Amino acid sequence: MKHAQWLLALAILLGDLPLWTNSAAAQKEVNDLMKKKLEQSQKILEGIALSDFDKISAGAGELIQVSKAAEWRVLKTPQYEVHGNEFRKAAEAIIQNAKAKNLDGATLAYVDLTLTCVKCHKHVREVRMARND
Ligand code: HEC
């Protein structure tokens, strides 16, 4: 019996090994994508500060692309989906306001966007803490 348990544990361990290497590469892709998110949102802020509507639109457009990447879906919870939708909606509102050359509107939408960053990260932390990983 003991022996069988040990074999089972070994089988699980070995079976998981390729998964670990896979997930290390996948994790890097996720990190790169998430960093891109920060860069593009900084670009939007720069655009807002300089009233550069093209820069604002370009940054928000990139953010929408980022949110459509497969690596974006780190968690499969409904709440994560909601935060992702709000992120996209805020980015779209930024583009609309930039097109209308409405700096105040773009700034407000940027604040909304920033709130979605914080809310989603909070959700991710809570889920991970609960799962203890
Ligand atoms: C829908 C959820 C969601 C939204 C919205 C979101 N993020 Fe993230 N973000 C994540 C997740 C998930 C991670 C962690 C990825 C991991 O470590 O597995 C992350 C990680 C990061 C990281 C760390 C990257 C690294 O090197 O580990 C940065 C920086 C970041 N996000 C910036 C932002 C900014 C800026 C915004 C808003 C403009 C934002 N995020 C909005 C889900 C989100």
Identify the pLDDT of residue 58. Answer: 98
Asked whether residue 9 is assigned to any structural domain, the reply reads no
- Whether 12 is covered by a domain: the verdict is no
How far apart (Å, rounded) are the C-alpha atoms in residues 117 and 34?
A: 11
- pLDDT > 80? residue 129: yes
Residue 43 lies in a domain: yes
User: Hey, which bits of 17-93 come out as E strands?
Assistant: none
* Per-residue pLDDT, 23: 82
Q: What is the pLDDT of residue 15?
A: 46
- Here the tokens at position 96 are 């609309």
pTM of the model: 0.85
Maximum C-alpha span of the chain: 73
Domain count, the chain: 1
The residue contributing the CA closest to ligand 1 atom 3 is 120
The span from the CA of 104 to the CA of 101, in Å, is 9
Nearest ligand 1 atom to alpha carbon 38: 35
> In testing the pocket of ligand 1, which one of 43, 79, 121 has its CB within 8 Å of the most ligand atoms?
121
Whether 7 maps to a domain, the answer reads: no
Give 65-79 pLDDT, tens digit per residue: 999 999 999 999 999
Residue from 35, 45, 117, 126 to probe ligand 1 pocket by mutation (most atoms less than 8 Å from CB): 117
Residue/partner pairs of 50-54 with CB below 8 Å, 24 or more apart = 51/103, 53/98, 53/99, 53/101, 53/106, 54/98
Residue from 34, 41, 62 to probe ligand 1 pocket by mutation (most atoms less than 8 Å from CB): 34
Is 93 inside any structural domain? yes
Task: Give tens-digit pLDDT for 82-121.
Answer: 999 999 999 999 999 999 999 999 999 999 999 999 999 9
Has residue 2 been placed in a domain?
no
Residue 17: inside a domain, yes or no?
Answer: no
Query: What CATH number is attached to the domain comprising 101?
Result: 1.20.120.10
Instruction: Tell me the C-alpha distance between 70 and 81, whole Å.
Output: 13
Say whether pLDDT at 20 is over 80: no
Containing structural domain, residue 83: 32-131
Mean pLDDT for the stretch of residues 116-128: 97
User: Tell me, what's the pLDDT at 77?
Assistant: 96
Residue 6 lies in a domain: no
Tell me how far the alpha carbon of residue 118 lies from the centroid of ligand 1, in angstroms. Answer: 9
